[in-house]
Chains A and B, each alone.
Chain A
């Protein structure tokens, strides 16, 4: 197979970028999209040119490194996968393919298709954790968690933090990411003591990083490689509302880990 690629090239964050056209020859249908790009890069390096910078690592769909907008869609045309899991058999021979980086104010471009996603880490550092010391945790079976509850928590926890939700959103909102993180911990008894504080600080951090607000258009869910449901955004909104009520009504009252179940 053979493809024409329009690829965004940009030397650095402060320089202008532009599309450059490349031809990919001798592509087989069993090649992954990234292996196809590897091939193009090998050709460029052999000519002494700089290869196209893009991010990847595990190539198993789990590390969240790869971040290409392919023909306008983060992670490409298939649902529920990352770019590294996209195979060339998905495209027809001689197709023209456009490849761009994630575009969002909170994700400045570093080079070509590589963007800086540290904003997501900073949102996590604002409260996406349970404060627990390593000494003397109680036996894991002391906390009973129903299978259903654990499964929903796991659905939320399976977010890989790739940022496709941000790239797909008109407002470059990180709501789906934050919703997944907040929901995962809010659904488990261990997460309850810091529940109020967590949702507030994480949402504040999200705003501070320059992510936009949610417009309820569900583009994020459509491109999420782990099919995280927008229902978690509803849960996030509820958590936030609840936090506001708890804070204004009972400012001094500590939360019991078993006080309520959702």
Chain B
């Protein structure tokens, strides 16, 4: 029977983390080298964890499926990273960052985790500056800040529109140092395809060398998954095309609980989808909402061009609905408000899937140059993709699946329900609750990797009794066998449909029935359709080529096969949660004026799902208790 023990230290919120660190057992420097740790993924969480563990003296083996660790998808984050530095003296504090985050997540995360995140946020900036990250600066030489959706202070540090890139390159360079020292063995172009569990503990992974196709087992004393999010299950998303659910999903099948899978953030400001061939949705940084104003025509099916619609006939719908936050309303509210006006037939552009993000006011007040300096690269990108110049006509934007707040369940020490399996960054479910505030994912990835996991994993290694496990162990061989037969099965179907066509179909099903808003009927119909589609996949998919070779289509088909199972778990979770909170909007549960209605009495819990072979997953609940904040109706009006 699965037991969810969050292991939160008792006592005052402010000192929980200090006390936990003090009570943790340490591994002495001489003994650290006797321990090996596997880190899967080299994004902000994985690279920062692998490099820090290497610095501490552990032997680290680090894996990524990209050709270089520097290409992990964290590289694409544009906007910024939050930290409660209060350099602006605008009323920010650790307490306020904590409160904004927990409120922004609709009170569906643990107080203790969120407070710790706010606490270490200040250290992250210092560490990043020490690594040489060229943050934006004021003329006087101090660090500059800007603000993001859902908050009223300026606490976001940034590197132009490339913050994720610079933070990742910082973590990557720290990793390079450890590779150079021989503390980290780096294995790029290697994909994790299963987890090896021995005596109930995570002890290794099964991987495929993506160049030679060779399968192998790698064992260690502990395994860290930093494999990112799964919003590519929707087919069209803002994720890189390689981002996938496979590593976390296979760990789920080996016994790790999957928490809150239905919490998928739909980001309000992406470039609208065009035609059927489209492969991805491109995000326009949320920072654009600092200066851009969102509007649609007041009249439905108004086909005039934007400049022909006079001021009086425009509806600045976010400013109208959320006057205090206006265009900086949090992402979930902004996304749904966009959907609502489009559903009323007031959307603009092809198919009516779009609203205007208008820079006319700021262009007039502050001038072309100021706007170019702030957002120039985003305007260029928009021009290239759409062929339209946002300096002269408003941008068109539409929501897109983006960050996933769900993930493998972890306790306060970031350990999953499988001892020895740690999960960090977007791959775990912690910290963001039902909705993530802008500029907080970079913060969490680095907090987990630099400042949290390195402490908690030490305690595990110091206290666990671990037998010797090698690649010839029975469980290693069993893992290898599972992967071998699965790949063989995929290659032998030789059907008529491509993996992409199945991916597109399951993505559409999810978008329609488990997207920006959900209802019982839709979810039930998706739960009927998904197994049928999966069955067809295993009868009719075409995977060309062979296994023991470079075969991108085989890689992709394996990921799609996992999406086809995971989509069902996602819908189960959405169906169970009979309330609206954060990114999860159940149409049956809304107020008269269309705002989400939370049900703290029944749903103030983490929904953690346990895998059962051939049967519906079992739901376990971790109750969320609020000792230090009072869950309130999340009003931004």
Residues of chain A at the chain B interface (Cβ within 8 Å) = 12, 28, 30-32, 34-35, 38-39, 42, 44-46, 48-51, 53, 55-65, 78, 80-81, 85, 87, 89, 110-111, 114, 116-118, 120-121, 124-134, 137-141, 143-147, 149-151, 153-154, 157-158, 160-161, 184-185, 188, 190-191
Contacts and interface: CB of A to CB of B under 8 A. Distances in A.
A38 B500 CA distance: 10
A58 B73 contact: yes
Interface in B129-184: 129-143, 159-160, 162, 165-166, 169, 172-174, 176-177, 179-180
A30 B68 contact: no
Contact of A134 (B129, B385, B451, B552): B451
A190 B131 contact: yes
Report the 3 A-B pairs with minimum CB-CB distance, sorted nearest first: A144-B141, A129-B173, A140-B129
A132 B139 contact: no
Contacts of B496: 46
16 contacts: A32-B279, A42-B500, A45-B542, A55-B67, A57-B66, A57-B242, A58-B241, A59-B241, A110-B550, A117-B67, A121-B68, A121-B69, A129-B174, A134-B451, A139-B126, A161-B68
B604 to A, nearest CB: 35
A225 to B, nearest CB: 12
A49 B130 contact: no
Interface string B491-508: 000101110110000000
A53 B176 contact: no
A51 B544 contact: yes
A140 B126 contact: yes
B280 A130 contact: no
B539 interface: no
A87 to B, nearest CB: 6
Interface in B48-70: 52, 55, 66-70
Contacts of B166: 154, 157
B141 A147 contact: yes
B498 A110 contact: no
Contacts of A114: 550
Contacts of A111: 550
A48 B542 contact: yes
Contacts of B497: 46
Contacts of A30: 274-275, 386-387
B64 to A, nearest CB: 11
Nearest to A48: B544
Interface in B70-104: 70-71, 73, 75-76, 85, 87
B544 A85 contact: no
Given A57-B66, A87-B385, A130-B130, A125 B143 contact: no
Given A42-B500, A130-B130, A154 B159 contact: yes
Contacts of A31: 275, 277
A131 B178 CA distance: 9
B177 A129 contact: yes
B130 A138 contact: yes
Contacts of A89: 387
A131 B71 contact: no
B136 A150 contact: yes
B552 A51 contact: yes
Contact of A35 (B134, B179, B277): B277
Contacts of B545: 50
Contact of B384 (A34, A81, A161): A81
B172 to A, nearest CB: 8
A125 B277 contact: no
Interface string B100-142: 0000000000000000000000010111111111111111111
Given A53-B550, A65-B71, A190-B131, A144 B140 contact: yes
Nearest to B546: A50
Nearest to B380: A80
Contact of B381 (A85, A139, A190): A85
Contacts of B454: 134
Which residue, of A12, A51, A129, A144, has the highest number of chain B Cβ atoms within 10 A?
A129
A72 to B, nearest CB: 21
A143 B550 contact: no
B345 interface: no
Contacts of B340: none
A26 B211 CA distance: 32
A208 B275 CA distance: 47
Interface SS, A side: loop
Contact of B279 (A38, A53, A78): A38
B87 A188 contact: no
B304 to A, nearest CB: 23
Contacts of A55: 67
A57 B387 contact: no
Contact of A147 (B76, B137, B165, B186): B137
Nearest to B282: A60
A144 B52 CA distance: 26
Interface string B427-446: 00000000000000000000
Given A45-B544, A129-B173, 16 more contacts: A38-B277, A57-B242, A58-B241, A60-B381, A85-B385, A111-B550, A127-B180, A129-B176, A137-B129, A144-B140, A150-B134, A150-B136, A154-B134, A158-B160, A158-B162, A158-B165
Contacts of B85: 140
Given A57-B66, A116-B67, A190-B130, A63 B136 contact: no
B317 interface: no
B225 to A, nearest CB: 19
A110 to B, nearest CB: 6
B611 interface: no
B28 interface: no
Given A46-B542, A144-B141, A63 B169 contact: no
Contacts of A38: 277, 279, 500
A119 to B, nearest CB: 10
Contact of B66 (A65, A154, A157): A65
Interface string B543-558: 0110001101100000
A188 B132 CA distance: 7
Contacts of B462: none
A145 B241 contact: no
A253 to B, nearest CB: 23
B188 interface: yes
A117 B68 contact: yes
Given A42-B500, A51-B544, A85 B130 contact: no
A61 B240 CA distance: 11
B219 to A, nearest CB: 25
A63 B55 contact: no
Given A57-B241, A147-B139, A132 B188 contact: no
B176 A39 contact: no
A118 B67 contact: yes
B300 to A, nearest CB: 26
A50 B544 contact: yes
A126 B180 contact: yes
B240 A121 contact: no
A175 to B, nearest CB: 19
Nearest to B543: A45
Contacts of B174: 129, 132
A154 B66 CA distance: 24
